[in-house]
Amino acid sequence: MKKARTLLFLASVAAGALIASAVFRPAAMSAAASTSGPQQSPQPAPAIASVVDGEISTVEKQIVDASEAMPEDKFNFTPEALNIPGSNYKGVRSFAVQVKHIAASNWFIWSPLTGDKLPEGLKDGNGPANLQTKADIIKFLKDSFALGHKAAATLTAENMLQSPANSKSTRLHLAEFGVAHACDHYGQMVEYLRMNGIVPPASRPKSE
């Protein structure tokens, strides 16, 4: 009799376990599915053109903002005028020529990628001599960065290690060298601004 009751108890436990499994398992599976969410497809790798274009945009903003921050009456400033004891700034470029040099170099570096002709009057790294006003110089600068974006758009995984006509450098090197060169002269522009009591826009608190 005792053995029969034991067998009956075990049978009822097993039956309860089967019922619980049938009831709760679908609910648990449903909950797990809802928390995991839909499967997202992997993001495509960024194209070389978009990566370089982003780098050009970054340095472009820094340089254009710095150029616009220098007042018109100080656009031809050069550290040589400060006569700092122990310094040697003799013959260095003025702020205006720094900006023109960046723009001129952009044209020389990036035009082989696009095939564009150089602007009229552009013969050397100091830019066209007829550009004298702040407005004209900044327009020249902005146009040179527009060329940079055009140059970046020509890059592909297939051609980036090829050399354009009349150049021994690869397309990728030219595109990136324009960015590196601009960064170099941005650092010099920062010093020119601070010598005149102007904090570069990129270094100002976000609230300004």
How is 87-117 classified by DSSP, letter by letter?
---TTPPPHHHHHHHHHHHHHHHHHHHHTPP
SS3 188: helix
Distance CA 59, CA 105 (A): 14
What pLDDT, in 10s, does the model give residues 37-67?
Answer: 566 667 677 799 999 999 999 999 999 999 9
Whether residue 110 contacts residue 174, with contact meaning beta carbons closer than 8 Å, is answered with yes
Task: Identify the structural domains of the chain with CATH numbers, from first to last.
Answer: 48-83+90-203 (1.20.120.450)
Q: Supply the pLDDT for residue 40.
A: 67
Q: Output 41 or 33, whichever has higher pLDDT.
A: 41
Structure tokens at 25: 């398992």
Structure tokens at 72: 């018109």
Whether residue 148 contacts residue 116, with contact meaning beta carbons closer than 8 Å, is answered with no
What pLDDT, in 10s, does the model give residues 63-105?
Answer: 999 999 999 999 999 999 999 999 999 999 999 999 999 999 9
This prediction has a pTM of: 0.78
